[in-house]
Structure formats: structure tokens, C-alpha cells
């Protein structure tokens, strides 16, 4: 039941079942623990993840294989990268999934150099990277602005490891070039792709247009994205933000009007934070949090404090 709920993305429900299971005295097996750790990863429930880790240690369950990989993933996604690394180093039997989880974990936590160091260990211990590994490697290069390093790893996918680059890898390269301001190179890269660029690739280029204020190119890319995914709102929202950054308010409002006419509702932004073992969820426009008034008062005080120190709020994305 717990594994099924996790596979369906119903993470909160999975944890409710787990708590019920604990309440009636049923002991979880390794499959259950992996599923619970995956739910913790997606909900940011670090304290529960730590409890599961302590349970594993207390019951002398070996943290190798699926359990070890799930622990690394959980700690990394919850921002506890050193604890993730500690679990990784303590695993006696590591596989490609272990290394990939650690590489992706370092990449998402801004530790590009450490991600590449872990990647460099793989051939030494005789483990061949897979396609997902290279997504982590290229993402690390992209966030750190390592253009030459990224090119080398991209070329090694086929040249050294005999793997076929997927759209995710091409998208990572477009993101890498775009972040570095190499917009023309990113366009040329897409034009020379041996496979049809998908929404992931075009989305990466549109993201680069937002970073560097490329309005005209953004309009062209948006049309391609809309043609591929006409029902998705992402391209409209990003292009609207590009217009706003360029002070083209009429164009931004026009896109919002189109979204309204087509009944394309923007999914409200959501953020999670865990405090003293309790996960607090915040959504845009939601006032249901029990300490909402206290939070709003604190935010207002922070805004005044920032303004008093010469920090004015940006209006680029206010519509």
C-alpha cells in the first residue's frame, strides 16, 4: 500500500499509512523503508527521514543497495548533503545508482566540484555511468558555469561510454550554454541536434532568454513550445516574465489574458519547510496557515527593514 501510494505521487497519504502501521505495532521491512524514505525526499521531511535512518541502525539493517541509495537521495533532497555523503561513504557495496544519487545530490546543492570528483571515482572502481549519471554531471557543470568541462563530458557520453545522448542531455547543454550567455552557441547546438528538440530543450533556451533579456528570441522559442505543448502554461508564464523584465507590460498582460481565455490556470507556487519535525506548506494566495497573521506581520517588518537599508523590491514580475 505504501509503495503504491509513493509510486502514484501520493506522498502524504503514504506517510499516513506508515504512521497507522506504526500505531498497530507492525514492523516495516526494507521495501517499506525505501518507500517511506522516497516520500520523505519529496516532502522534505528530514526529521522523519532521520528517524528511519536511526531505525535502520538500531535494527542493524544493512544500509546498502536500495536502502543506502534511498538514504543518500533523501538527505540530499532535504539539503543535508554532508549526511548524504556520510551514508554514501559508509556503503560497502556501491553501484551506479549510489554514485548517481550522490552526483545529483551534490549538483542540486551547488557542489559542482564535489559532484565531478565523485564522477571521477567511477572508472577507478569499475562502475560505468548511465544516462541519468550524465544528467547530474551536466547539471553540475551548468550551475557552476563550467562550459569546457560540460562539453567534454557531453562528448564522452557517446565517444567514451557508447551511450546515446538523450533529450535531457541536450537540454542540459542548452541550459549550460544559456546560463553562460552563449545564446548563439545554444541556438546553433539545437539546430545541429540529430534528434528533434522537445519541450525540455526549448524550455532551457527560453530560460536563457529570461536570464539575458532576449525578448525577440524568446518570442520565437515560445511559439515552438506552445506548438509542442499547447495545454501547458509554462511557456506563457516565462514569456510574460520576460516581457515584464523588459517593461513591456502590455505584452505581458496580453499573454495573461490569453491564458485566462483558454482557461489555463497557473499552478500556485508551493514551498515546504520543516521546523521541529513539523513540515509547513505554503502556497501562493493561501491564508490557511494557523500562524498566517504572524507570518505576514514578520514579512512586512522585513520589507520595511530592507527598504530602510536601500533595498527596494523588484517589480519585474508583479502583474
Digit-coded pLDDT (tens) for 109-143: 999 999 999 999 999 999 999 999 999 999 999 99
What per-residue confidence (pLDDT) applies to 319?
40
What per-residue confidence (pLDDT) applies to 301?
85
Least confident of 145-149, 216-220, 270-274: 270-274
Does 124 fall in a domain? Answer: no
What per-residue confidence (pLDDT) applies to 290?
77
d(CA 104, CA 138): 10
29 versus 173: the higher-pLDDT residue is 173
Does 34 fall in a domain? Answer: yes
- The arithmetic mean of pLDDT across residues 27-43, rounded, is 93
Does 16 fall in a domain? Answer: yes
Count of beta carbons in the 10 Å neighbourhood of residue 254: 13
Q: Work out how many domains the chain is built from and give that number.
A: 1
Does 101 fall in a domain? Answer: no
Does 21 fall in a domain? Answer: yes
**Of residues 41, 101, 46, the one with CA closest to residue 72:** 101
Label residue 62 by pLDDT band (50, 70, 90): confident
Q: Is residue 318 pLDDT above 50, yes or no? A: no
Does 221 fall in a domain? Answer: no
Cα four-point dihedral sign 119, 120, 122, 128: positive
CA 65 to chain centre: 23
Does 243 fall in a domain? Answer: no
210 versus 22: the higher-pLDDT residue is 210
d(CA 249, CA 319): 8
Q: What's the CA dihedral at 243, 245, 247, 249 to 10 degrees?
A: 40
Average pLDDT over the chain, rounded to whole? 90
301 versus 238: the higher-pLDDT residue is 238
Digit-coded pLDDT (tens) for 228-279: 999 889 999 999 999 999 999 999 999 999 998 887 765 555 565 656 555 5
Q: Is residue 24 pLDDT above 90, yes or no? A: yes
What per-residue confidence (pLDDT) applies to 283?
64
Q: Is residue 102 pLDDT above 60, yes or no? A: yes
305 versus 317: the higher-pLDDT residue is 305
Does 99 fall in a domain? Answer: no
Name the residue range of residue 32's domain: 1-93
d(CA 14, CA 303): 38
Amino acid at each position: 500500500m505504501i509503495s503504491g501510494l509513493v509510486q502514484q505521487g501520493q506522498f502524504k497519504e503514504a506517510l499516513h499509512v506508515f504512521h497507522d502501521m506504526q500505531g498497530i505495532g507492525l514492523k516495516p521491512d526494507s521495501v517499506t523503508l525505501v518507500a517511506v524514505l522516497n516520500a520523505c525526499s519529496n516532502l522534505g521531511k528530514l526529521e522523519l527521514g532521520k528517524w528511519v535512518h536511526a531505525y535502520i541502525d538500531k535494527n542493524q539493517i544493512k544500509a546498502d543497495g536500495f536502502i543506502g541509495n534511498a538514504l543518500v537521495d533523501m538527505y540530499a533532497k532535504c539539503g543535508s548533503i554532508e549526511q548524504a555523503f556520510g551514508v554514501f561513504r559508509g556503503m560497502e557495496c556501491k553501484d551506479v545508482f549510489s554514485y548517481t544519487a550522490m552526483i545529483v545530490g551534490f549538483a542540486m546543492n551547488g557542489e559542482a566540484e564535489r559532484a565531478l570528483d565523485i564522477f571521477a571515482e567511477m572508472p577507478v572502481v569499475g562502475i560505468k555511468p548511465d544516462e541519468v549519471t550524465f544528467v547530474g554531471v551536466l547539471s553540475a557543470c551548468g550551475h557552476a558555469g563550467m562550459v569546457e568541462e560540460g562539453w567534454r563530458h557531453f562528448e564522452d557520453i557517446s565517444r567514451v561510454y557508447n551511450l546515446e545522448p538523450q533529450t535531457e542531455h541536450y537540454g542540459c547543454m542548452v541550459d549550460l550554454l544559456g546560463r553562460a550567455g552563449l545564446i548563439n552557441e545554444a541556438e546553433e547546438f539545437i539546430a545541429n541536434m540529430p534528434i528533434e528538440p522537445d519541450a525540455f530543450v526549448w524550455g532551457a533556451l527560453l530560460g536563457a532568454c529570461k536570464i539575458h533579456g532576449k525578448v525577440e528570441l524568446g518570442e520565437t522559442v515560445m511559439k515552438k513550445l506552445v506548438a509542442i505543448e499547447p495545454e501547458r502554461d509554462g511557456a506563457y508564464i516565462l514569456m510574460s516574465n520576460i516581457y515584464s523584465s523588459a517593461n513591456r507590460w502590455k505584452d505581458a498582460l496580453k499573454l495573461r489574458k490569453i491564458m485566462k481565455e483558454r482557461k489555463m490556470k497557473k499552478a500556485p507556487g508551493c514551498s515546504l519547510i520543516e521546523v521541529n519535525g513539523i513540515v509547513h506548506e505554503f502556497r501562493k494566495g493561501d491564508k490557511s496557515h494557523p500562524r498566517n497573521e504572524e507570518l505576514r506581520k514578520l514579512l512586512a517588518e522585513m520589507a520595511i527593514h530592507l527598504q530602510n537599508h536601500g533595498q527596494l523590491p523588484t517589480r519585474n514580475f508583479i502583474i
